[in-house]
Structure 1
């Protein structure tokens, strides 16, 4: 690209990928009477004005439309987003971390679950404390001492 040409915006890069793919997929997006833009809007669930702005490189579609757009123009979502430089190829190959950044506390869990009654909260927090103690003692799967296999005095 010559130095005097401005760098394309993300919306312009997206349009440069989607427009030719739409034409190739049979959408007559260049003719006002062809109805291709309206058909693409209908097929993707987008509004006609959003499709027009997208094809003109004025705006990016909402991410919820990426899959439908890719399907309609016979591209993979990956190819569409990588070629338009929305995401990098590396972003799709990096394993996702399954670790929680900040573990939830039992108190917060009780709040999120709606345990506002003091007795319900005490029972819930006691159960969590007991489960943690059992796991720490290495007895997570045993059924002794009320672990699920035998009745206790509280069972009635």
Structure 2
């Protein structure tokens, strides 16, 4: 079985990789705390692996400060399992498909000439998908 790092180990590795000196007098914990908008004692608890008391706001602040997806932090903190993440992805709604005309409307491209250029550009970039759509409509 793979040796999976604890949340504290994972966080420590991320902080060191980003240049935070976590030594006794390095100031890295305080700098990260300030950057994340959380208290230095909270950072200490997280590094010791005491993240059970951390609320979602703290974990979200860690994700933002590290510029990593929130779901990664939740997975490393063992709030979510890999199976949970896969289930969420499977059940995520599919975003609606926009027509080029709807995209132009949404972007506020109403002047006829820029709109024509926009639509022509989209058509030039979508030759395969347009052919696929026509084929599907014929079936």
TM interval, short-chain normalised? 0.5 to 0.7
Report the secondary structure of 2:7's partner residue: helix
Deviations 1:10-56 (A, max 9, x none): xx822122110111111112x12110000111111111111111101
TM-score by length of 2: 0.52
The structure carrying a bigger helix percent of its residues is 2
Q: Is the 8 A contact 2:38 2:61 kept in 1?
A: no
- Gaps (5+ residues) in structure 1? 2-7, 98-156
TM-score by length of 1: 0.47
Report the secondary structure of 2:44's partner residue: helix
Report the secondary structure of 1:26's partner residue: coil
CA RMSD between the two structures: 2.8
Q: How much does 1:91 deviate?
A: 4.7
The 10-residue stretch of structure 1 (17-26 or 79-88) with the greater mean CA deviation from structure 2: 79-88
Q: Which residue of 2 aligns with 1:46?
A: 38
Q: Which residue of 2 aligns with 1:80?
A: 73
- Give the 5 Å matches for 1:29-44: 29=22, 31-44=23-36
Aligned pair 1:92/2:84, yes or no? Answer: no
Q: Distance in 1 between matches of 2:28 and 2:77?
A: 22
Distance 1:74 1:96, change over 3 A: closer
The count of aligned residue pairs is: 89
- Give the 5 Å matches for 1:134-153: none
Asked which structure has the greater CA Rg, the reply is 1
Task: Report 1 or 2 for greater relative contact order, CA contacts < 8 Å, sequence distance ≥ 6.
Answer: 1
- Gaps (5+ residues) in structure 2? 94-139
Distance 1:59 1:67, change over 3 A: closer
Q: Distance in 2 between matches of 1:44 and 1:73?
A: 8
Q: Which residue of 1 aligns with 2:48?
A: 56
Q: Distance in 1 between matches of 2:44 and 2:59?
A: 15
Q: How much does 1:65 deviate?
A: 2.0
